[in-house]
Amino acid sequence: MEQAGTPAYKSDRLPLHKIDQRSPLMRYDLLIAGFGGQGALLAGTVLCYAAMIEGKNVSYLPSYGPEKRGGAAMCTVVITDGDVGSPVVGNPSVGILLNQLSLEKYGPRIKPGGICIVNSSLADTSHINRTDIEIFEMPMNEIAMGIGDARLVNMVALGAYAAKTGAVGEKSLEMALKDALPERNHKYIPVNIKAIEAGVEIIRKALAGENPAEADSSKMAEKALTA
């Protein structure tokens, strides 16, 4: 431990707080929200493990209140090469919003120039009047059901996030499942990987010019799976 009577840490290195294109150091922050049971918190945890596999610093702050199943669930994640600084993120650069309530509550808080990944199965973006952010809608419930289980919504979202931002590699996410899930659930890893891949694929296609919001949802899921 440090010497007493002198600063434990005297450093003029401060936390990174914005992405500076000129700097090799990166920083990503993210807010994931949904209702309890959609896996918002697990998504945050898997993402952190993935970033740690890549040698990054991370923080994961779950919303902590008198929560209950079906109630609101939210976490903020920071991934960086430097000091994390605040685990509390006021205006996230990316939001993954899994239901209507989350979209209404956190959509307006996304930083101008930021990205909003929305589960259009449960959230309607038509009244979100923001032209200063990029909105990616995808019917995550249908996509998840197409893979076999509605509970895979969070992994679809994570795949989409990784593909869109490059915050972590897809392979790291897949490896992270082993760290994040208890041994007894490791048998579900392959289906979770499928869901992550589906999310990645949708973003790749959207970036190639196909708009996921306009695509027929069941076809989308099918395409994602066969891709």
Partner 1 sequence: MTKRLFVRGNEAICLGALEAGCRHYFGYPITPQNDIPEFMSREIPKLNGEFIQAESEVAAINMVLGAAATGVRAMTSSSSPGISLKMESVSYMAAMEVPCLIVNISRSGPGLGGIDASQGDYFQAVKGGGHGGYHIIVLAPASIQEMYDLTMLAFDLAEKYRSPAMILGDAVVGQMKEPLAPRPKPDTELIEKNWALRGTGEGEQRVIKSLYLGDGELEAHNWKLHAKYSLMKEKECRWEESHTDDAKILVTAFGSAARIAKTAVAMARDEGMKVGFLRPITLFPFPEKAFRDATLRCKKVLDIELNTGQMVEDVRLSVARDADVFFYGRPSGTGSLPTPEELFAQIKKYY
Chosen residue from 70, 71, 90, 112 binding partner 1 by CB under 8 A = 90
- Whole-angstrom distance, CA of residue 110 vs CA of residue 219: 30
- In total, the chain counts a number of residues equal to 227
Fill in the amino acid letter for 28: Y
Fill in the amino acid letter for 81: D
Between residues 168 and 206, which has the closer beta carbon with respect to partner 1?
168
Q: How far is the CB of 96 from partner 1 (least distance, A)?
A: 18
The size of the interface with partner 1 (CB under 8 A), counted in residues, is 39
Q: Which residue has the tokens 């199943």?
A: 69
> In Å, how far are 5, 36, 44, 166 from 161, measured between CA atoms?
45, 20, 11, 8
Q: How far is the CB of 148 from partner 1 (least distance, A)?
A: 28
- Whole-angstrom distance, CA of residue 105 vs CA of residue 83: 28
> In Å, how far are 12, 115, 144, 198 from 158, measured between CA atoms?
34, 13, 12, 10
Q: How far is the CB of 66 from partner 1 (least distance, A)?
A: 7
Q: Does 58 contact partner 1 by CB under 8 A?
A: yes
| Of residues 62, 73, 82, 51, the one with CA closest to residue 158 | 51
Beta carbons within 10 angstroms of residue 211's beta carbon? 10
Q: How far is the CB of 142 from partner 1 (least distance, A)?
A: 31
Q: Does 93 contact partner 1 by CB under 8 A?
A: no
Q: How far is the CB of 86 from partner 1 (least distance, A)?
A: 4
Q: Does 14 contact partner 1 by CB under 8 A?
A: yes
Would you say 14 and 86 are in contact if contact means Cβ atoms under 8 Å apart?
no
Backbone angles phi, psi at 223, to 5 degrees: -65, -45
Angle at 103 between CA 69 and CA 70, to 5 degrees: 10
Q: How far is the CB of 54 from partner 1 (least distance, A)?
A: 12
Binding mask 144-183 for partner 1 (x = CB under 8 A): -----------------------------------x----
Q: Does 9 contact partner 1 by CB under 8 A?
A: yes
Q: Does 202 contact partner 1 by CB under 8 A?
A: no
Q: Does 64 contact partner 1 by CB under 8 A?
A: yes
Q: Does 16 contact partner 1 by CB under 8 A?
A: yes
Tokens describing residue 86: 């605040």
Between residues 83 and 149, which has the closer beta carbon with respect to partner 1?
83
Give the binding site for partner 1 (CB under 8 A). Answer: 1-2, 4-5, 7-18, 45, 48-49, 52, 57-62, 64-66, 83-91, 179
